Chain A
Amino acid sequence: MNLEFNIEGGNFSRAGHASSEVKKMLKQLGIDARCIKSIVIALYEGEVNVVAHAYEGRILVKMEPHKITTEIMDKGPGIADIELAMQEGYSTASKAVREMGFGAGMGLANMKKNTDELTIESTVGEGTTVKMVNYF
């Protein structure tokens, strides 16, 4: 079973909407509660990154027995140095975004901690694809 959602870059009022839909679906499907919690954390961070740092994006959720794959693909500035971006505390978020409590530079670290596999591919000037796998 597959799910697909769109993410609007820059629109903070919609941030978390897709994550909330995915959470509802996973609950309905009776997926393990701990697994849902982890996926929700990772997915929310991925969703917010598109809102905060990119122009538009798409989420694909693929469900298989004992495995959930979430892909977040965006059109945006891309990430020049992924290793640097992964460091906790590193953020290029604007002052306004930081004042809202976003931009703590903990998003990618949260994604890493809450997934079994995390792969990030990015092309500067084009966009970023984040692939996350959770086994349960």
Chain B
Amino acid sequence: MKVSELIEKLNLQVISGEKGLDREISGAYVSDLLSDVMGNARENQIWITLQVHQNVMAIASLKDLAAVILVKGLQPHKSTIQHSNEEQIPLLSTTDSTFELSGKLYALLNDSQ
């Protein structure tokens, strides 16, 4: 599934990084601890988090993640948006909690296999 399809299906808001909307998704990783993501997330996964600072995009880029979804309507810092555009990694947002979003995403990715 592509990031763009996911946005439609889960009704996500695109904040930035539109150039990366064609990226293919291999799964997802949920964590707010940066070392956990650095050590355990895998290429082309979606990262669900409540961290809004620019280091999130630095990690997304280093790990070749497909996109980042911020939960609970949290707003990113300006530098995070800038970094997302530079790296062409979509920064998305939902009003759902981490639990709600993860449940929906899990069901969706499982169904599409």
Contact = CB atoms under 8 A, between A and B. Distances in A.
Interface of A: 12-13, 15-17, 19-20, 23, 37, 40-41, 44-45, 48, 100-102, 104-107, 109-110, 113-114
A13 B79 contact: yes
Contacts of A105: 35
Interface string B43-67: 1000001010111001101110000
List of 9 A-B pairs having minimum Cβ-Cβ separation, nearest first: A16-B58, A106-B35, A104-B33, A101-B34, A110-B39, A104-B35, A101-B51, A101-B32, A40-B62
B79 to A, nearest CB: 7
A61 to B, nearest CB: 15
Contacts of B62: 16, 19-20, 23, 40, 44
Interface residues of B, number: 19
A110 B99 CA distance: 27
B22 interface: no
A132 B65 CA distance: 25
Query: Chain B: interface secondary structure?
Result: helix
B100 interface: no
B61 A20 contact: yes
Contact of B55 (A15, A41, A110): A15
Given A13-B54, A100-B53, A101-B51, A106 B33 contact: yes
A12 B55 contact: yes
Contact of A101 (B33, B43, B63): B33
A23 B60 CA distance: 13
A16 B35 contact: no
A113 B40 CA distance: 11
Contacts of A114: 39
